[in-house]
Amino acid sequence: MAVMPEAEVTVEPGLVVALLRAQAPDLAHLPVRLAGGGWDNTLFRLGKDLVVRLPRRKIAEPLMVAEQQWLPGLAADLSVPTSAPVRIGQPGSTYPWHWSVSRWIDGISGVSVPRRDRASAAVPLARFLAEFHRPAPADAPVSPVGRGGPLEARDDVVRARLAVLGTPASPRLLEVWEHSVAAPAFADPPLWLHGDLHAANTVLGPDGGLAGVVDFGDLCAGDPATDLAAAWLHFDASGRSAFRAEVERHRPTDAATWDRARGWAVSMGSALAASSDDAPAMLELGRGILAEVLRD
């Protein structure tokens, strides 16, 4: 069975309270309760308006540091709320890594909303990317797993995942992947990227609209096709059409970029589908992504 990576540090509410007492005593009186987590971080609701994010694996710590360094400035003029940190926690004797306190964004995780009901988020998500995809400096973070880079660097691992999945659709997904890898490479200056823009990293409001974008742990620079994979990561055909039209309205995007974006959807969808047997929502998300890839 393929499962999510095990936590290397177990974080419980008592530890969070102790860290707050030591480093943010003005917040230590607020109630703390588990709010969820993913492959890299554990989240705790802090009072009504805040959330504490702590890496659960050593590999996630430098991602947290990069987010703390860059995201507050990048998010300052965005029209969509984000998980930009408002407090930065330091490593210590009881917990070995950097951690953050961010604003809580009211709403529901996008992964909890059926794909057909996410269409209201398509236009605002495209607008978010139009704002966020700005030129990145030479010292911007580089993704340790190749986000923003050439698809061919992921060729071996994606082929291996599709072989492991072994579904009747795997040969067709491999054809899509090979077509995407063969697309002309991104040749323009690198842009800032969210890097992991699937539905679990969005917050939706009661009307299905976009309330916020969270978890910038894969923040990096490079090919915008990585984030444009959101067309398949989030939406059905109708929502995808609205998303693509709004992207094009803000920034003309050639066919090669959309081909690479579809390839990134294969890469991300296969990663979720192959490694989430113990996380039903993420497993379903991965399978749904791969199904949408084949509908175009």
What pLDDT, in 10s, does the model give residues 153-179?
999 999 999 999 999 999 999 999 999
Residues 165, 255 within the same domain: yes
Same domain, 75 and 155: no
Helices 255-274 and 170-181: crossing angle in degrees, nearest 10, is 140
**What pLDDT, on the 0 to 100 scale, is given for residue 276?**
81
- Provide the Cα torsion 67, 69, 72, 73; round to 10°: -120
The pLDDT assigned to 3 comes to 58
**CATH classification of the domain holding 99:** 3.30.200.20
Residue that is last in its domain, among 72, 103, 134: 103
Q: pLDDT tens across 30-82, in order?
A: 999 999 887 789 999 999 999 999 999 999 999 999 999 999 999 999 999 99
- Whether residues 242 and 191 share a domain: the answer is yes
Domain boundary pick from 103, 135, 162? 103
62 plus 143 within the same structural domain: no
Judgement on whether residues 93 and 170 belong to the same structural domain of the protein = no
pTM for the whole structure: 0.94
Q: Do 222 and 131 touch, CB atoms closer than 8 A?
A: no
Pair (133, 190) in one structural domain: yes
Note whether residue 262 is domain-resident.
yes
Per-residue confidence (pLDDT) for residue 278, from 0 to 100: 75
Q: What is the 3-state secondary structure (H, E, C) of 208-268?
A: CCEEEECCCCCCEEECCHHHHCHHHHHCCHHHHHHHHHHHHHHCCCCHHHHHHHHHHHHHH
The per-residue pLDDT for 111 is 95
In a domain, 1, yes or no: no
Give the integer Cα–Cα distance in Å for 281 and 14. 28
For the record, the structure tokens of 5 come out as 């990576």
Residue 134: its pLDDT value, please?
97
Range of the domain at 48: 13-103
Determine the pLDDT at residue 1: 42
CATH code, domain with 190: 3.90.1200.10
The residue out of 69, 103, 137 marking a domain boundary is 103
Domain count across the chain: 2
Residue at 5 is within a domain: no
Which of the residues in the chain have pLDDT under 50?
1
